[in-house]
Amino acid sequence: MSIQIDVVRNRLTLFIDGVPFKKYPIALGKPGTPTPVGEWKVVNKSKNWGKGFGSRWIGLNVPWGTFGIHGTNRPHSIGSDASHGCVRMLNRHVEELYNLVPIGTLVNIMGHPLGESFADPRPLALGDSGADVMLIQFQLKFAGFYKGACNGRFDGATDQALRKFEQSQGLQVDGVVSLSDYLALGLLE
């Protein structure tokens, strides 16, 4: 059993033995708080997890924060990019999914870490987190500027590495990943 989340179509598909079994409409993260692209696993499940999370919670092992698939008390948000990064489902849909998926289920959130191709990637700075931050860390590490863990958390070590990189490239040394930084890192053309 596995779950595939399409961030372009706002759709969650449950696969059983590699065959699509059920498809659900979903809401995803806003551009400033994107849904974490990558391959994750279900690590916990709970009923009535907290206010605003609907009737069920299916937690994922994202290293830079608490993310999951959950119900919603805002059903009108389904089909849009409206959350702080979690995957929202209608309560009746998440209850059905909750009963089908065990802990350990693979969850593949498809998409590009820098977001959708028609939009500029978000600026990143100290305190930000996400798959885009992890990508920046990998690029800085590959370039020899970053020695820390590529964990998707823009921490002090990431800030220092970015500033050293900016200085080496003749960029504005401000610790903010802007379009010029993305270009210099080879992440945009």
pTM to 2 decimal places: 0.83
150 is catalytic: no
112 is catalytic: no
Q: Which of 86, 93, 112, 150 is catalytic?
A: 86
The pLDDT value recorded for residue 112 is 83
- On whether the CB atoms of residues 169 and 184 are closer than 8 A, the answer is yes
Give the model confidence (pLDDT) of 99-123 as tens digits: 999 999 999 999 888 877 777 899 9
Whole-angstrom distance, CA of residue 36 vs CA of residue 75:
21
Give the model confidence (pLDDT) of 15-61 as tens digits: 999 999 999 999 999 988 889 999 999 999 999 887 778 899 999 99
